[in-house]
Amino acid sequence: MWFFAIPGYLFPAPSVIWAEMVENAGMIWGHTLATTRTVALGFIASIVISLPLAVAITSSPLMANTIYPFLVLTQSIPKVALAPILVVVMGANELPRVVITFLVAFFPLVLATAAGLQSVPAELIELGRACRASRWKELIRIRLPYAVPFVFSGLKAAVTLSVVGAVVAEFVNADRGLGYLIVTSTAFFEVALAWAALIVLSVLGIVLFQIVAVVEHVLFPWSAGKT
Name the site residues for other proteins (rule: CB under 8 A).
121, 123-124, 126-133, 137, 141-142, 145-146, 148, 220, 222-223, 225-226
Q: Which is nearer to other proteins, 206 or 219 (CB)?
A: 219
Closest listed residue to residue 113, CA positions, set 62, 60, 54: 54
Give dist(CA 135, CA 91) in Å, integer: 42
Of 127 and 215, the one with the shorter C-beta distance to other proteins is 127
Q: Count each helix (H run) and each strand (E run) in the chain, helices first.
A: 11, 0
Nearer to other proteins, 23 or 126 (CB): 126
Q: Residue 196's closest CA among 6, 22, 26?
A: 22
State the greatest distance between any 2 C-alpha atoms of the chain, in Å, as a whole number: 74
How far apart are the C-alpha atoms of 187 and 73, rounded to whole Å?
Answer: 34
Shortest Å, Cβ 115 to other proteins: 17
Measured from the Cβ of residue 127, the count of other Cβ atoms closer than 10 Å reads 13
- Nearest residue (CB) to other proteins, 74 versus 118: 118
In the complex, what is the shortest distance from the CB of residue 123 to other proteins, in angstroms, rounded to a whole number? 4
CB of 156 to other proteins, least distance (A): 19
Least Å distance, CB 139 to other proteins, is: 12
